[in-house]
Amino acid sequence: MATDPSAGRVAPAGHAPAVSSPERPAALPARLGQVLCLDDFEAAARRHLPRPVFAYVSGGVERNRSLRANAQAFDAWEFVTRVLIDTSRRSTETALLGSTWSAPVGIAPMGLCALSAYRGDLAITQAAARENVPMIMSGSSLIRLEEIVQANPKAWFQAYLPGTEAQIVALIERVKAAGYGTLVLTLDASIASNRENNIRAGFSTPLRPSLRLAWEGLTHPRWLFGTFLKTLARHGMPHFENNHAHRGVPILSKNVLRDFSDRGHLGWQHIRMIRAMWPGQLVIKGILDVRDARAAVETGADGLIISNHGGRQLDSTVSPLRVLPDIVQACPEVPVMIDSGFRRGTDVLKALALGAKFVFVGRPFNYAAAVAGQDGVRKAISLLREEVSRDMAMLGVTSVTDLSTDCLMPADPRTASSSC
């Protein structure tokens, strides 16, 4: 048997794979050690990044209860495997919103990627394009959204809504003019959450110049020269580029007022307004309550992303995996996607078996971009896709559409272990 992991497909020897696939990502630098799974990228990024930057990416909020619960939620389910099923021609290909992707996995939106990795969003989106998985560009980013869609015409854009109707309309017009086909609206960040961990680690947005920050840079020279100074030399001081139709504040500033609007007053009428002016696919992200899921569908959403923002908004918010089955049942008209805490092929298969159509993963791709750029992200995508493919074989399924609750059993509460 010849394996074609790039296409997520196992082809008999001598047969051309059914999907043209990119070449394998380049080998990663030896200094990273053995990278065998997504968690290995986190360990490498912890060494590579200044503490405030690593803390911003890795942290949750307050006591990190939701962050932990997201990781532990997968332990509530165990697989019931089947045997003697021919899985030699299995495929991880997944159809979603009019495209066929190489895996049921995409890259979640993450702010400030170009602070942890040189031209981070660009490296991530180029890797996503080459591996044929969806990448969602965050509105809280430091590279212009127009550059990203030029590099990857299949990228999606995620907006945090600005505070006034006029600002919302101007931002959506900009995203439309740039040529994006899918717009994601994140609704779970109506106000800034209490990121004490960021303050303790010396992180603020914008970053305040300080002796501590300078020391962190000097003690992480690979990041200082390879990301921060290289960015300054080639592209100037990074600014928040995509929260509005116009450029926002610089990342390093004495004025620490980030130009994020309070969105607490926004309502479904704003989503209806956007639906009326947005011709492409509209995805609503940050949904956990069945009533909100129904409201989103009735407002014209083409898809939902069930999410607690990676445990970064309200601490103790329920893990999305727990509410997934009810939302899937209530919203059969649209694909229900999910993120928050996914790290393993087994995590992905559990969500698909519970009815999710697609899974988004964030932090590990940020770490992979930080330590090894585009090749790192491609390696991370391949690792996860190979896990999904291998796990499908052991489970006894050949297609992601074969997954159902028949593959799962609730874990025995006496033996369920914590994965933290």
Question: Which positions touch ligand GLV (CB under 6 A)?
Answer: 111, 140, 309, 312
Please report how close the Cβ of residue 389 comes to ligand GLV at its closest, in angstroms.
30
Annotated binding site for FMN: 109-111, 138, 158, 186, 285, 307, 339-343, 362-363
Q: Are 323 and 340 in contact (CB under 8 A)?
A: no
The smaller minimum CB distance to ligand GLV, of residues 309 and 385, is found at: 309
Q: Which residues have C-beta within 8 Å of that of residue 155, sequence separation ≥ 6?
A: 125, 128, 129, 134, 135, 136, 137, 148, 149, 180
Q: Which segments within 83-138 are labelled E, that is strand?
A: 94-96, 99-101, 105-107, 136-138
As a whole number of angstroms, the distance between CA 121 and CA 123 comes to 6
Antiparallel, parallel or unpaired: β 94-96 and 99-101: antiparallel
The smaller minimum CB distance to ligand GLV, of residues 111 and 345, is found at: 111
Annotated binding site for glyoxylate: 56, 160, 195, 309, 312
As a whole number of angstroms, the distance between CA 242 and CA 171 comes to 8
**Residue showing the smallest CB distance to ligand GLV in the complex:** 111
Q: Are 355 and 324 in contact (CB under 8 A)?
A: yes
Please report how close the Cβ of residue 112 comes to ligand GLV at its closest, in angstroms.
7
- Coil, strand, or helix at residue 111? coil
As a whole number of angstroms, the distance between CA 184 and CA 187 comes to 10
The smaller minimum CB distance to ligand GLV, of residues 111 and 217, is found at: 111
Is residue 300 exposed (0-12), middle (13-18) or buried (19+ Cβ within 10 Å)?
middle
Annotated binding site: 56, 109-111, 138, 158, 160, 186, 195, 285, 307, 309, 312, 339-343, 362-363
Cα distances from 85 to residues 82, 267, 410, in angstroms, run: 7, 50, 23
The smaller minimum CB distance to ligand GLV, of residues 25 and 60, is found at: 60
Please report how close the Cβ of residue 140 comes to ligand GLV at its closest, in angstroms.
5
Please report how close the Cβ of residue 111 comes to ligand GLV at its closest, in angstroms.
4
Please report how close the Cβ of residue 309 comes to ligand GLV at its closest, in angstroms.
6
- Torsions phi, psi of 11, nearest 5? -115, 140
What Rg, from alpha-carbon coordinates, does the chain have? 21
The smaller minimum CB distance to ligand GLV, of residues 5 and 310, is found at: 310
Q: Is 309 designated active site? A: yes
**Catalytic annotation, residues:** 309
